[in-house]
Homo-oligomer: A and B are copies of this chain.
């Protein structure tokens, strides 16, 4: 059966998350229904690189699926988009890949963007797309502090209780905080992340931006290896899975 890799964008606010769940519509469910519709109704499983939570967006989620049919890449992309058109999910690209390709296990890197809106007025156009933090954050202090998290560490402090990873040790390759007018953007890159790792890091960086924590406080929180030592979890709507890398 031919295997295809997909590049996917979605508005996480419309879904219970990537993964199929009993309590609502998931991105996986919409794409699997679209794939089944063009594969003669045969059930199709779509495997993603990362199972984003409810409310988390994707600009560049990666996934793969196997079909009975041999379809040109662009026709598959257009057919999936046709069947998924009632929902805010879109296949940006489809490409035939070898059977050894697995969206999750072949991935060698993931990149996330977290958007914070730092202004007194709540968002109108970006409602559900940013974390609104009125009151003024020091983005430069956040960026300087972020450096203590870069590298290989035990990230237990920034790990969700329900995280299923075997080890809390991860290597954070990039963590940068930059201001763009009223918006503060946090970008994070690693081979893989723990559950809620980016949102928990952003929640702690906000304490630095507010002047409540220093870079040393952030380093101490990391060293504590205790979720209770970390800041609160930032809400899902500011988070975007922007890229998944393959060899």
Point out the residue from B11, B77, B81, B119 that lies within 8 Å of A125, measured CB to CB.
Answer: B11
Contact with B along A94-138 (1 / 0, CB 8 A): 000000000000000000000000011111110101000000000
A53 interface hit (Cβ, 8 Å): no
B125 close to A88 (CB less than 8 A):
yes
Point out the residue from B9, B11, B85, B120 that lies within 8 Å of A77, measured CB to CB.
Answer: B120
Q: How many residues of A contact B (CB 8 A)?
A: 25
A57 interface hit (Cβ, 8 Å): yes
Residue of B nearest to A57 (CB): B125
Complex: A123 Cα to B89 Cα, angstroms: 8
B77 close to A122 (CB less than 8 A):
no
Q: Which residues of A contact B (CB under 8 A)?
A: 9-11, 57, 59, 74, 77-78, 81, 85, 88-93, 119-125, 127, 129
